């Protein structure tokens, strides 16, 4: 919140003031005009003489330009005399009318000046109002395009600290040091250390870059200016540079302080070469930013913190030491980080005793902090829809499936043949996954349509892996082919469906990477045949570095050989375990969803120890009566019924 802005709309306040002034002037002019005009009805001069002759006039006042008087009935009148009429006075005397002379009125100089200057005053008032809007600080006016739009952040409510930031410990430590420097500069300067000029937060969307900046604002105890990169760019040339200058002038007045520029790639892109593909306005803004950050004038005590998810497009001059001394990578959290993030968000939710954040963290590889916050929110909404008092593990599992695989499509009408084919397809994936030693363990298998998939087998890694081994690649290829092979074995060559299209796409992409990037082909050797470029947002492409006809033919044959070899291994596994394939498919048709433990139990014992209960998640129930009661303590004791309604 900007404390410098007064309460209410200042523009409306100025308009009301000037409107009141103009109305007051008009009122004064109208009153003075009314006072200067004589009262009474206007009559012609001839009618006036006739009325005098008739004896109807009581008294008159005669001036050079006007005659006013009263009739005997009390009515006032006024008329304009005829010049050089010598017979008027004898007529008045003969008729017994009281008459007297009246001095000519002096013109009202003040009134004349006021009337003549009223349009000028109106124009002056409008010009003054416009000028005030231009000069208004903060750039909030209608024409305040030259002022900085940076807001001074003073969070009295909703203050964020480093305690609220979890899962990105390394990035947090880097920025905690900057905060410590602002609090106690002598601790570092006595050894010759200088405060960093700037820190660039780099990371994928949703990893917590803006949250880190808010935590710095809450911890530093110094003025904190925040602005978006797009706020510098305007339709007028030179406005961006002007706003940069104004922002740093504000910062110098409040030093030591922190300036946070969100999405700096809006103004910090590579500068062109002046050959037609450049943006002069953005480049001027960037040039001014470069000079202000590290130019001839020293900006002591001003720390720039910027955030972007496109570091590949930033200008090299912006990234050099002295401008952004530190580039802090904010990564996607690992399994321990995900567990910590879940713990932060779960503080706001009444949890059932069976909730295990570690299991949820294991089941969400690749999730960012924003994804995990959304997961906890979806689980809370599901529990509210089911009219529960506590959020149980079932809600988290259903929310995770919804986020990762899409919402359930139970209303989708599938024939029995389609259900049977889907069951055998998913059973093929599951059996090959169980029989491949290098494959990740199965978490869940379902034939309930979700999103664009008719069924799904979800595997769960034991831990986050940072390298991809050859045996696991071959295992994943075999698992991807398992569904297609099961359809071929059970339904025949002519009844193979298009349901394996995503599996084929995945297997082809993996085989291509194995051959062209990772050197997993014995014939082609450990060479890179494709050069790939991509940013944090996944945009990019690939280009072959060896493009001869012989090399391309060999690459294509090796990719095909890997996929066909995986198809053969999956065929051998399923032919050997055909009885288990039928068993697992029938179990999927009966229960629709099986957990990994139930699949292993079925493969070992041939049966599932599941109590008679309806499959799938509980149906939402309408909430009636009062609001949902509060849960009490987080892990309070009690029976299992406390988890649900």
If 0-12 CB within 10 Å is exposed, 13-18 middle and 19+ buried, where does residue 96 land? exposed
Q: Which two tokens stand for residue 542?
A: 């690939």
- In the annotation, is 106 catalytic? no
Identify which of 503, 501, 485 has the alpha carbon closest to the alpha carbon of residue 571. Answer: 485
For residues 84 and 102, give the distance between their C-alpha atoms in angstroms, rounded to a whole number: 16
Instruction: Show the 3-state SS of 463-481.
Output: CCCCCCCHHHHHHHHHHHH
Residues 6+ apart with CB under 8 A from 447: 419, 422, 423, 426, 454, 455, 588, 589, 592, 593
H or E element, residue 42: strand 41-42
* CA 520, 524, 528, 534 torsion-angle sign: negative
Catalytic residue among 219, 292, 426, 436: 426
Residue 168 exposure: Cα atoms within 13 Å on the Cβ side: 29
The HSE-up count of residue 400 (CA atoms within 13 Å, CB side) is 22
Cβ(621)–Cβ(387) below 8 Å: yes
Chain Cα centroid distance, residue 571: 49
Buried b (16+ CB within 10 A) or exposed e, 293-315: bbeeeebebbbbbbbbbbbbebb
Cα–Cα dist 426/207, whole Å: 33
Q: Which residues of 135-159 are buried (b: 16+ CB within 10 A; e: fewer)?
A: ebebbebeebbbbbbbbbbeeeeee
Alpha-carbon gap, residue 53 to 273, rounded angstroms = 101
Q: What distance in Å separates the CA atoms of residue 4 and residue 506, rounded to the nearest whole number?
A: 56
- In DSSP terms, which residues pair with 153 in a beta bridge? 224
- What angle (nearest 5°) sits at the alpha carbon of residue 105, between those of residues 102 and 109? 170
Give backbone dihedrals phi and psi of 527, rounded to 5 degrees, phi first.
Answer: -125, 150
Rounded to whole angstroms, the Cα distance separating 309 from 538 reads 10
Catalytic residues: 426
């Amino acid at each position: 919140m900007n404390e410098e802005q007064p309460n209410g709309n200042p523009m409306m306040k100025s308009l009301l003031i000037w409107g009141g002034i103009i109305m007051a002037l008009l009122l004064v002019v109208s009153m003075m005009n009314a006072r200067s005009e004589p009262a009474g009805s206007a009559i012609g001069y001839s009618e006036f003489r006739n009325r005098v002759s008739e004896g109807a006039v009581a008294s008159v006042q005669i001036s050079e330009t006007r005659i006013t008087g009263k009739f005997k009935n009390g009515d006032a009148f006024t008329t304009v005399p005829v010049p050089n009429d010598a017979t008027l006075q004898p007529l008045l005397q003969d008729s017994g009318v009281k008459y007297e002379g009246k001095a000519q009125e002096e013109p009202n100089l003040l009134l004349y000046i006021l009337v003549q200057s009223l349009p000028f005053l109106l124009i002056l008032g409008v010009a003054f109002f416009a000028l005030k809007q231009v000069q208004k600080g903060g750039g909030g006016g209608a024409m305040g395009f030259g002022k900085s739009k940076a807001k001074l952040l003073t969070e009295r409510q909703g203050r964020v600290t480093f305690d609220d930031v979890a899962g990105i410990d390394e990035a947090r430590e880097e920025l905690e040091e900057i905060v410590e420097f602002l609090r106690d500069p002598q601790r570092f300067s006595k050894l010759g250390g200088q405060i960093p000029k700037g820190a660039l937060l780099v990371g994928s969307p949703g990893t917590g870059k803006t949250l880190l900046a808010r935590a710095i604002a809450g911890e530093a105890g110094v003025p904190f200016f925040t602005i978006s990169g797009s706020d510098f760019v305007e339709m007028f040339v030179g406005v961006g540079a002007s706003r940069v200058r104004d922002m740093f002038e504000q910062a110098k007045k409040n030093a030591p302080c922190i300036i946070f520029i969100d999405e700096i790639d809006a103004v910090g892109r590579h500068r062109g070469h002046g050959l037609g593909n450049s943006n002069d306005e953005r480049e001027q803004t960037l040039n001014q930013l470069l000079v202000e950050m590290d130019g001839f004038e020293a900006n002591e005590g001003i720390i720039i913190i910027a955030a972007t998810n496109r570091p590949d497009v930033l200008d090299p001059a912006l990234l050099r030491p002295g401008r952004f001394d530190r580039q802090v990578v904010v990564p996607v959290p690992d399994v321990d980080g995900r567990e910590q993030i879940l713990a932060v968000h779960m503080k706001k939710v009444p949890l059932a005793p069976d909730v295990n954040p570690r299991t949820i963290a294991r089941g969400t590889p690749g999730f960012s902090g924003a994804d995990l916050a959304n997961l906890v929110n979806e689980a809370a909404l599901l529990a509210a829809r089911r009219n529960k008092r506590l959020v149980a593990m079932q809600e988290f599992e259903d929310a995770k499936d919804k986020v990762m695989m899409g919402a359930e499509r139970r209303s989708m009408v599938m024939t029995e043949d389609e259900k049977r084919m889907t069951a055998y397809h998913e059973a093929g994936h599951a059996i090959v996954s169980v029989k491949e030693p290098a494959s990740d363990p199965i978490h869940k298998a379902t034939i309930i349509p979700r999103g664009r998939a008719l069924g799904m087998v979800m595997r769960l890694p034991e831990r986050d892996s940072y390298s991809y081994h050859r045996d696991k690649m071959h295992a994943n290829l075999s698992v991807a082919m398992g569904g297609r092979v099961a359809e071929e074995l059970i339904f025949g060559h002519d009844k193979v469906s298009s349901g394996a299209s995503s599996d084929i796409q995945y297997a082809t992409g993996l085989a291509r990477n194995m051959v062209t990037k990772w050197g997993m082909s014995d014939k082609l050797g450990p060479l890179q045949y494709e050069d790939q470029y991509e940013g944090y947002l996944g945009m990019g492409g690939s280009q072959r570095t060896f493009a001869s006809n012989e090399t391309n033919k060999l690459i294509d044959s090796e990719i095909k050989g890997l996929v066909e070899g995986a198809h053969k291994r999956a065929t051998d596994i399923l032919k050997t375990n055909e009885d288990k394939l039928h068993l697992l498919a029938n179990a999927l048709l009966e229960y629709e969803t099986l957990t990994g433990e139930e699949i292993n139990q079925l493969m070992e014992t041939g049966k599932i120890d599941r109590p008679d209960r309806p499959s799938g998640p509980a149906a939402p129930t309408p909430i009636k009566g009062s609001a949902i009661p509060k849960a009490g303590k987080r892990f309070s004791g009690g029976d299992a019924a406390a988890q649900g309604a």
